[in-house]
Each structure stands twice: as C-alpha cells, then as structure tokens.
Amino acid sequence: MAAKPRECQAEVAAVRSVTPDVIEVDLRVLAPEDFTFEAGQWISVPFGEKTVRAWSMVSSPTRRGPITLSVDVAPGGIGSQWLRGLTPGDPVRFKGPTGGFVFNRADPRRALFIAEEIGIVPIRSILADLDESGLERPATLVYQARSAGELVYDADFRALAHRHPGFAYHPVVSAGQGEHLPALVDRLVSDVAGLVAYVAGGEETIARVREVLMAKGLERKAVKWEKFW
C-alpha cells in the first residue's frame, strides 16, 4: 500500500543537468527519518499558499541515500526557475509521497510501459526498482522524444535490455508531440491477453494510446496512466 503524504524537510545534496532542459536534483530527506516512497510516485513542492509543483522521483525506492527528482525546466515557470537556482545545502520543504502510478508486483500480467518525453521519469523509477529486485516477467518500454538527444536515460534502457532478454526497448523520435507513439504501439501490440499498460505523458497522447489498446480488446482499467501536461 502506498505511503500517505506527509510534510517533509530536506536539503539539496546535488544538482546536475541531464540535458539542456532536464535537471536532476538529489534531495537528502531530513524529516521524517522513515520517509519512503513507491516507484512511480511524486512529491509536491509549495510556492505560496495556492501554488504547488508536482515532480516525480526518478530514483529507485530501494536505493539508499537521497531521493532524485528529474524535471523538464523548459517551460520556464516558477518551478523551473527555482530548480535552476538550487545549490547543494539549500533547504527544501515538500509533501509526499503522492500518486497511484505504481507497479503491482503481485500482478502476473505482462507489462507494457509507454512514455512521452518527460513522462519517462516515473517509468524509469519503476524499471530501476524492478532491475534491482529482479526483472522476472516479460516487459516492454516504448519511449518517444522529440530528438535523439532528448531520450533521457536511453543508455540505461539499452543496458537493461542487454541484461534482461525478456525486456524489449523501443525508442522513437518525433518532432511532433505524440505524433508516432500511438501508431508504434498499434504496430507492436498484437495480443493484449494478459497485458497491463502504464502510460505517462501528455493528456492527448494518453487518450490516443488508450484508444489503440482498447480497440485491440484491452480493458480500460488495464491502462494505468500519469498525466504530465
């Protein structure tokens, strides 16, 4: 069962650029001392009384030490500017963990992960967690970005496919948001029996991918999703 969100205190341990528009931030959680999360969850950081920003953990929950956020700062809003200005030692207050986009290990179905751009973050956390504990079931990742350089964690997924023959990785590059992702899913998925899908990205792409899978006979509740925009 997912942990209930709590008020948390942390400090920045490290900040690094993954791409020109994606920043990773390591947060050392100071309180509560027993803070835990499930792969796929997120935290919310307040900016005033009514403004918060939600960011997913990209790290595995089984990894000891700081939690890691991975954020697209291209929008340039209040959260993006704040992230760009962080330095080690800065205090951070947040609430979490939050979210039900988590992997059910007791579910025997084959897993199909589908990510659009920065939607890869919670899926990367799930796959890292599965890799550390043993990826024992067939799984597939379909991942789209606007350019090859924006396929963040591409090397990790290629290495995962090399280590686990049952894991298939299909990256795709498209200049238009969501342009090729539903078509690729349509082509790759021939049988939805015993399948569960995890889709993360933009609302339009999530809807189109869900339509593709449901047209093949997959039940609506077998499509888990996390909307980023």
Contact 23, 16 (CB under 8 A): yes
What does the pLDDT read at residue 3? Answer: 65
What does the pLDDT read at residue 134? Answer: 77
Evaluated on CA atoms 134, 201, 141, 74, the torsion sign reads negative
What does the pLDDT read at residue 177? Answer: 53
Give 6-98's CATH code, choosing from 1.10.3720.10, 1.25.10.10, 3.40.50.620, 2.40.30.10: 2.40.30.10
Helix (H, G, I), strand (E, B) or coil at 110: strand
What does the pLDDT read at residue 1? Answer: 55
Return d(Cα 168, Cα 191) in angstroms, integer: 15
Composition of the chain by helix, strand, coil, percent to 5: 25, 35, 40
Domain range list for the chain? 6-98, 110-227
Helix (H, G, I), strand (E, B) or coil at 137: coil
Smallest Cα–Cα separation from 155: which of 16, 19, 25?
Answer: 19
Q: What is the pTM of this model?
A: 0.93
Taking the domain 110-227, which CATH number applies?
Answer: 3.40.50.80
Contact 23, 83 (CB under 8 A): yes
Structure tokens at 124: 């990367």
Helix (H, G, I), strand (E, B) or coil at 74: coil
Return d(Cα 205, Cα 215) in angstroms, integer: 15
The per-residue pLDDT for range 141-154, each reduced to its tens digit, is: 999 999 999 999 99
What does the pLDDT read at residue 137? Answer: 81
What does the pLDDT read at residue 170? Answer: 96
Helix (H, G, I), strand (E, B) or coil at 61: coil
Stretches in the chain below the pLDDT threshold 50:
none
Return d(Cα 184, Cα 142) in angstroms, integer: 8
